[in-house]
Chain A
Amino acid sequence: GEDVEQSLFLSVREGDSSVINCTYTDSSSTYLYWYKQEPGAGLQLLTYIFSNMDMKQDQRLTVLLNKKDKHLSLRIADTQTGDSAIYFCAPSRGATNKLIFGTGTLLAVQP
């Protein structure tokens, strides 16, 4: 079956860069998403990358995709306390764009 793995916790200092990593098993994923979940809230789409791309940059966010190793990462530059949240990696699958979620990485930003 499909599997998506993320580390559970990451702590950084305000102003530093954060890198959240994800590995997945389904090589047929066409789109790979990053979602953010703040406490008590739903999931907010942060960014995504198409499977034929290696990198995508969107303001402070950089997504890197190594399709050969099935590894996805999200880099947040100049991390702020407002970035503290759970981040989910979610490759999509099939015609229905079903999302396969990892367990999420809790990012804690220390002032």
Chain B
Amino acid sequence: EAQVTQNPRYLITVTGKKLTVTCSQNMNHEYMSWYRQDPGLGLRQIYYSMNVEVTDKGDVPEGYKVSRKEKRNFPLILESPSPNQTSLYFCASSTRGGQGFGYTFGSGTRLTVV
């Protein structure tokens, strides 16, 4: 089944403890992206990647890192999480130039930083 898989689904952590949220897609998509969803703000793009070893900042990149060493994986790294990073995170992927198909989204990771 074609899908984007994120792990974990739920995570509670403490301020300052490094964490990684994994994202993997099995559709051979070139484009991958991370979004965060907050009440009243919709979804905002954190980082995106156009292909292996090509990443760039989205609208709200502060406090986050990403890497794209393989085409299928696009992990989101929080080096020193803070409470304002408590949010619902979505990974998404798309074919290159696949504008008519939009992005396929993962099921989300709900992160709480205390």
Q: Knowing A45-B104, A48-B100, say if A96 contacts B42 (CB, 8 Å).
A: no
User: Which residues of chain B are within 8 angstroms of A109 by Cβ–Cβ distance?
Assistant: none
A88 to B43, Cβ gap below 8 A? yes
CB distance from B52 to the nearest CB of A (A): 15
Whether A82 is near chain B, meaning CB under 8 Å from some CB there, is no
Which of these, B31, B90, B94, contacts A43 with CB under 8 Å? B90
Number of interface residues of A (CB under 8 A): 23
Bound: A43/B104 CA distance, A: 8
Closest chain A residue, CB of each to CB of B98: A97
Q: Is the interface of A mostly helix, strand, loop or mixed?
A: strand
Whether A92 is near chain B, meaning CB under 8 Å from some CB there, is yes
B102 to A45, Cβ gap below 8 A? yes
B99 to A97, Cβ gap below 8 A? yes
Whether A30 is near chain B, meaning CB under 8 Å from some CB there, is yes
Q: Knowing A31-B99, A97-B94, A97-B99, say if A88 contacts B42 (CB, 8 Å).
A: yes
A43 to B41, Cβ gap below 8 A? no
Whether B107 is near chain A, meaning CB under 8 Å from some CB there, is yes
B98 to A41, Cβ gap below 8 A? no
